[in-house]
Structure 1
């Protein structure tokens, strides 16, 4: 009898592992889930992709046995129309990601991308950006990087069909880890900066593992017609773009609302080392504001950015946190909740801070002992923050499974307390007592601190907050409405020159626009010249050793759905990476950890501490979970 050699033994072991992994359910066998993307729409929370570890469960439903590293290959739907207790009766459904019926192409399995809501009258949700993780490429359903040409996907909630669109003319890359937000009332999505790595697309597979190429620019996708546009972010980040921060959209300020950019890390476009080790964390007292109405202003191609410094206590800098926003009942304050994340030197965070606008002050309302990062969160109803997934430390395989065993958590934003019960009929939002102590007023609003303690950094920003204007149903028409005087950086306008300036936090770095016929004539001449050279150059042509910024022409171009005859353009291997293209008075009495131990007010003392794969259908599982569809 022949004794199996090392190769055949390894093959048998791999086969056993593969067969075992095919039986792992993304809900029943979930250990931890992180680096996913999620969105809330029409009373359902959708969770897409991400990395996940799996664990066996016994007949009693208890987690036992070994942990397997893998991916969430499904679109998970969580019912938010009805109340539930995740310990007892939560309803979760795993939907197979079926192929685009027009092409037979399966939607990608990605991490660190964005899942967008789409317009209020749109039946679709949208998947954009993300990267393919290679931490277990033997896991069933693993997909390697795909071409970047069709980086925008949609999923129709009515037909349950996936579709894909080509926006590469204006956004030729698939970035990941960028901060993103969405103005659903306008059908606009925003994705700022981000990175490319060897899992981003076929054209980047040659990058050194763990290297990150930072990208400049902010991609704006109009989901009404699937068009994309690139806006320069030189006014904010210069040549040190950001990743792993958070961006929030707030309506009702200015003509079309604002974007608020918070935290993350920043790294030079000339430095491709792993940003987690060598990147600089963005101070949490530096807040960047984008006036969404400037997107519609064709005379300001890069849009209008402002920078404001906060006052008072400030959170530790961090990446991989989540954020949501809630407005005081009378609209006198906008409160952005920042939860969790991690800092340098394996500093994992379990706290919640609230950034209040227009006072630009931070207030800490919770401190716990159960860190969480690489999670997502959403406001459901009026006062509830639902958290999704997250990891507790860097040792994914050896770490205990998420004690929130269904992958969701519930936080009351008014009382600043955690729980397992989601109340679909919860009352209205009230400003937390600790926040009231900072900004004045009461739980119902009436904030008395209506500007930063040192004043606004720019007149334009002050005007934006002084004269709030609710966006109309026709945002384009608002572009001609009277609005605050924009202040733009000297680098706000795209250029093909080799020079650029990094913006500091000092107001003098922002230049007021020059008025008058001379400036108008210069701008017109520059536009004509720029348009001429833009049309003449190749899309990936390099000028002066830098990548040009791809901008849409004056009219939006509707991106067609994928066609078999489309040419796939690859990045030349020798070219340089490019800019992104076209009622509590004190601390919470209850820690979020599974032990339920009390936590008094304290500070943190110790900070050291393959495409086309077809899955086999799995059987129906108890009550709270079902699996729909089959590839």
Structure 2
């Protein structure tokens, strides 16, 4: 204050400067902190699945509309799929719900480096089990256990799994699939399994809802015949064929032996997309079958989803995107593999997917909704060949975190619609025959069956899952019993648009009040000074007293009246700002909601 006095500034001028400083400097910073991270922009290397009407995802790395690059969080998120959702822009955080992860081992890698730390969820109708993709010193220290999340009670548990120490907790980027009807999941390949022949086999997991007293798993190997594929960064899906279902795996890298396409530092070749591996669950047997048609380019880090014709005469495996390590490019194309004809069909034409001009996507995930919509979540978006330019390292409005492909028309949708039903698309029936309701004319591979046993497997179909989630949820009684190690302490939503609007009004009112108060004091002092100058010389002249300190101090807000700011996806809290002494407390609008602070 003395410094201002020495340069001839009056108290009124000083107050005016203070008010202006608060209005110009503090208001934008405070306001930005309150409304930061209103939207989710990007996801990569996450584990994800759909249970009931929830699209659940966790781990990996994220970008938000806060200007920051990829960052991992300590939350399990879910998006409720019971209504239409606009997907052509970042997702408003008010649409997401979340609970804390029970352990840092599930948080994923600290940055989306090549290789990632992508795990998966095993699941049934009510519970998801986090498998593989764990990081940190405890990553492989839960060999007999898995962290499970119950979607009815929204609680985590560390559950014991019978069957031995075969979790491969620190494995990642293998291929996996689940039969939700029986609660049976499968995982093979990756970095720690089937690596140059090591641990060549398949983990079979059965949840507690599959008829067993508690979850069990086993490591399935075959004594005769094919040992199954050694796949890294490929895809595997579950199909309702055979006596108990089958697994279909393809793409990715062949880690069975050293390849020839790459130099030092990368030893494996990409698999030809015509090489299809089939695992019959009932007989524990792997088969190999050659596909024909419009064979896609070799690729890794793509995603796949399954749709079945209404009469089960054909099954379509749709793939999207991916990465070509040899050419260093991402893909933006869509192909479909129709079974049992084993025909690849190109959906998007090459002219529409030029990697030099059309951004592609890799390291994303796909989940199917009622066969008719493939929900694409996350991924790296890049354009170019050789040294592609990444386009979503920070929030990019043009490349949202979710995309929805209508698998009946193969058109990209701007909205997810939970009521859409599946019909066989024209581009498929033009090749395999039949109509939108089924009746496929082609029922065998063009090159013939590689095995008569495989032909017999495809002659049978498993009944569809008829689980009624609404009846089950209405009869279920959520439990609040604490888990053996960790229970989610809260379920929270982030600031909604209404809450942000309320905060905006309050902060604007505060700034206006500061400016008006400063102007009032300025005018009063100026008027007083003018009156003093009108006095006669024999009147005493009163001088304004100097302030007792050269430091500016402002009273802090009482704790009971403090405005609590919401945690925004585990992102850093803003620096606290103290209000000036001339301020008055403003009550937020009734539409705003208090948000629980992070633990």
Q: TM-score, normalised to structure 1's length?
A: 0.60
* Separation in 1, partners of 2:36, 2:489: 16
Kindly tell me: are residues 25 and 249 of structure 1, through their superposed partners in 2, closer, same or farther at Cα, counting changes over 3 Å? farther
One of 245, 252, 266 as aligned partner of 1:257: 245
Deviations 1:179-233 (A, max 9, x none): 0000111111100121149xxxxxxxxxxxxx99975211011112211100126
1:43 paired residue number: 53
Unaligned runs of 5+ in 1: 1-19, 57-64, 100-104, 133-142, 198-210, 295-302, 474-560, 565-610
Per the TM alignment, residue 621 of structure 1 is displaced from its structure 2 partner at its CA by: 3.7
Kindly tell me: are residues 341 and 623 of structure 1, through their superposed partners in 2, closer, same or farther at Cα, counting changes over 3 Å? farther
Per the TM alignment, residue 169 of structure 1 is displaced from its structure 2 partner at its CA by: 1.8
Per the TM alignment, residue 256 of structure 1 is displaced from its structure 2 partner at its CA by: 0.9
Say if 2:87 and 2:404, in contact at 8 Å, map to a contact too.
no
Deviations 1:430-454 (A, max 9, x none): 2111111111112221111110112
2:106 paired residue number: 108
Are 1:169 and 2:154 matched, yes or no?
Answer: no
Per the TM alignment, residue 242 of structure 1 is displaced from its structure 2 partner at its CA by: 1.5
* Separation in 1, partners of 2:34, 2:176: 31
Per the TM alignment, residue 467 of structure 1 is displaced from its structure 2 partner at its CA by: 3.5
- After TM superposition, list the pairs within 5 Å mapping 1:561-572 onto structure 2: none
Are 1:387 and 2:382 matched, yes or no?
Answer: no
1:312 paired residue number: 293
Kindly tell me: are residues 190 and 624 of structure 1, through their superposed partners in 2, closer, same or farther at Cα, counting changes over 3 Å? farther
Deviates more, 1:215-224 or 1:408-417: 215-224
Kindly tell me: are residues 379 and 165 of structure 1, through their superposed partners in 2, closer, same or farther at Cα, counting changes over 3 Å? same
Say if 1:254 and 1:470, in contact at 8 Å, map to a contact too.
no
- 1:464 counterpart SS class: helix
1:594 paired residue number: none
Are 1:336 and 2:334 matched, yes or no?
Answer: no
Q: How many residues align?
A: 428
Are 1:452 and 2:450 matched, yes or no?
Answer: no
Per the TM alignment, residue 266 of structure 1 is displaced from its structure 2 partner at its CA by: 1.6
Are 1:267 and 2:267 matched, yes or no?
Answer: no
* Separation in 2, partners of 1:92, 1:169: 40
1:324 paired residue number: 305
Say if 2:88 and 2:403, in contact at 8 Å, map to a contact too.
no
Say if 1:329 and 1:445, in contact at 8 Å, map to a contact too.
yes
Kindly tell me: are residues 337 and 622 of structure 1, through their superposed partners in 2, closer, same or farther at Cα, counting changes over 3 Å? same
Q: CA RMSD in A?
A: 4.0
Kindly tell me: are residues 70 and 26 of structure 1, through their superposed partners in 2, closer, same or farther at Cα, counting changes over 3 Å? farther
Say if 2:42 and 2:401, in contact at 8 Å, map to a contact too.
yes
Are 1:218 and 2:171 matched, yes or no?
Answer: no
One of 232, 235, 246 as aligned partner of 2:221: 232
* Separation in 2, partners of 1:412, 1:448: 24
Deviations 1:329-377 (A, max 9, x none): 2211000001111112312101111100010000011244231111111
Q: TM-score, normalised to structure 2's length?
A: 0.63
Say if 1:196 and 1:212, in contact at 8 Å, map to a contact too.
no
Say if 1:53 and 1:397, in contact at 8 Å, map to a contact too.
no
Richer in helix (by share) = 2
Are 1:442 and 2:442 matched, yes or no?
Answer: no
Per the TM alignment, residue 468 of structure 1 is displaced from its structure 2 partner at its CA by: 3.3
Per the TM alignment, residue 312 of structure 1 is displaced from its structure 2 partner at its CA by: 2.0
Kindly tell me: are residues 463 and 83 of structure 1, through their superposed partners in 2, closer, same or farther at Cα, counting changes over 3 Å? same
Deviations 1:300-334 (A, max 9, x none): xxx11111001122011111111110011221100
* Separation in 1, partners of 2:188, 2:457: 21
1:129 paired residue number: 132
2:549 paired residue number: none
Kindly tell me: are residues 24 and 228 of structure 1, through their superposed partners in 2, closer, same or farther at Cα, counting changes over 3 Å? farther
2:342 paired residue number: 360
Kindly tell me: are residues 447 and 144 of structure 1, through their superposed partners in 2, closer, same or farther at Cα, counting changes over 3 Å? same
* Separation in 2, partners of 1:278, 1:623: 54
Kindly tell me: are residues 54 and 467 of structure 1, through their superposed partners in 2, closer, same or farther at Cα, counting changes over 3 Å? closer
Kindly tell me: are residues 28 and 395 of structure 1, through their superposed partners in 2, closer, same or farther at Cα, counting changes over 3 Å? farther
Per the TM alignment, residue 145 of structure 1 is displaced from its structure 2 partner at its CA by: 5.2
Per the TM alignment, residue 270 of structure 1 is displaced from its structure 2 partner at its CA by: 8.3
Are 1:160 and 2:35 matched, yes or no?
Answer: no
Kindly tell me: are residues 194 and 149 of structure 1, through their superposed partners in 2, closer, same or farther at Cα, counting changes over 3 Å? same
- 1:293 counterpart SS class: coil
Say if 1:74 and 1:94, in contact at 8 Å, map to a contact too.
no
Deviates more, 1:393-402 or 1:456-465: 393-402
* Separation in 2, partners of 1:157, 1:306: 36
- After TM superposition, list the pairs within 5 Å mapping 1:231-630 onto structure 2: 231-232=220-221, 241-251=230-240, 253-268=241-256, 277-294=266-283, 303-344=284-325, 345-367=327-349, 368=353, 369-393=358-382, 399=393, 401-403=395-397, 406-426=400-420, 428-470=421-463, 620-622=495-497, 630=598
